[in-house]
Structures are given as structure tokens and as C-alpha cells.
Amino acid sequence: MTTATLRQVLAKLYRAHRHWKTPAVSKISETTRDPFRILISCMLSLRTKDEVTDVASAKLFALAKAPRAMARLPVARIAKTIYPVGFYRTKARHVREVCRQLLTRYRGRVPSTIEELVTLPGVGRKTANLVVTLGFQRLGICVDTHVHRISNRWGYVRTRAPDETEFALRKKLPTRYWIDYNELLVRFGRTICHPTSPWCSRCPVERWCPRIGVTRHR
């Protein structure tokens, strides 16, 4: 798929995505641009269903809305509050340590660069890019499994892992799409372009898709 074709595809997805469910962290960013809440919510969302992330984030922020207050919470209480998010005990330790480091290294503020964010415990490039784009409205490309899978399924990139996909997209994807690309493809991937047996018969961009790697579809 060429960049010219991709522009047509994304134009279609822009029109269709409003009818598809909003990802949990995007939903939080619609109510607050607070980078801290976006950071913590994204950490909780990893390998966790959106419905669980929504509830866990709300319960945790009801206890503490800023790094200093959250750093005072015992790890056990954070774990109990965010349960049943995936790996909740590990995430509880990471959340508390992130808050501690924000206080000691950044005067309680969330850093605004990917390079700084990935030095925090439990924060990878996916989370860092999401914080930069949603929390600071700065350029970044958040690549999760949906973005990685679909970008390769379209043949726009040919990569083996999400981090490779991010850097390939940074070289090829026009910057005007960087911030929105993740949410568009997450909504599309959850609703239509499933990992196995995608709904090609319902797909608004089916005529442009080469279906690379697709062995079964509906």
C-alpha cells in the first residue's frame, strides 16, 4: 500500500470510527488532558480489557489524583484498588515507584519526552507515545498490537515487532496522521480487522486491502 492509498484509507476510517467504541485511555483523555492520569491509566490498561481499566482508573484516582498523594498509598492498597487488571500486583509496584520518581526526578511533573518516559518503571514505548500524544499533544506514534498487525496487513510496512513498526512509520507516515493513527486503528482492529477471521465483508476499506497474512475472513 502506498502513502497515497493510505490517505484514502484513513479518510474512510475517520468517517467510520465515530461509530466504534472509544479505547479506555482515549476516553480518559477526552475528559482531562492531565498527563499524570493518562500515564497511570495507560499503565493499568496493558493486557487489560477497557471495561476493567475504566473502573480501576476511576477507583484509583478517587484515592489519589496526583503523584504525591499516590506515592503515599501502600502498594497493597493500590493493588487491591486496581484489581482485577492484568498483573495488578506488579502494576501496583510500578505505579507507586513511578510516582516516587516523578517527585524525586521531575518535581512531581510527568516528563514530556519519550526518552525520559521510558526510563520510568513499567513504561514502554507504547505508553510513552500515548502520554506524549494525548497528554501533551506532541508528535508521536503509539504502536500496539492492532497498529502493528494492520499496518503490516495493509503492506504499508513490513516489520516483525511493534517497536520496529513505530520506527518504520516514523519514516513513512505523514506527520498529520501520527497522533490519530493509534486510535483509528485500535477502533478498527477491535471492531472489524480482527487478528483472526477479520470482517472483510463489513470493512469500509476492503477494496484497498491486500490482506497480507490473512488466511480466513468473513
The ranges of the chain annotated as CATH 1.10.1670.10 are 3-22+140-208
Closest by CA to 65, choosing from 104, 28, 120, 115, is 28
CATH number of 34-136: 1.10.340.30
pLDDT given for residue 118 in this prediction: 97
- Rounded mean pLDDT of 103-121? 97
pLDDT given for residue 23 in this prediction: 85
Residue 180 known to be catalytic: no
Catalytic entry in 50, 80, 144, 180: 144
pLDDT given for residue 30 in this prediction: 79
Cell numbers 482531562 correspond to 32
> Is the entire prediction scored with pTM above 0.85?
yes
The ranges of the chain annotated as CATH 1.10.340.30 are 34-136
C-beta of residue 172 within 8 angstroms of C-beta of residue 116: no
Residue count (the chain): 218
pLDDT tens digits for range 80-98: 999 999 999 999 999 999 9
Catalytic entry in 54, 126, 172, 180: 126
Residue 144 known to be catalytic: yes
pLDDT at position 203 over 90: yes
Instruction: Give the Cα separation of 109 and 81 in Å (integer).
Output: 23
C-beta of residue 8 within 8 angstroms of C-beta of residue 208: yes
Chosen CATH of 3-22+140-208 out of 1.10.150.570, 3.40.1440.60, 1.10.1670.10, 1.10.3470.10? 1.10.1670.10
**How many Cβ atoms are within 10 Å of 11's Cβ, its own excluded?**
11
pLDDT at position 17 over 90: no
CA dist list (Å): 194 to 7, 47, 187, 188, 214: 21, 16, 10, 8, 10
pLDDT given for residue 55 in this prediction: 95
pLDDT tens digits for range 27-55: 878 788 899 999 999 999 988 898 999 99
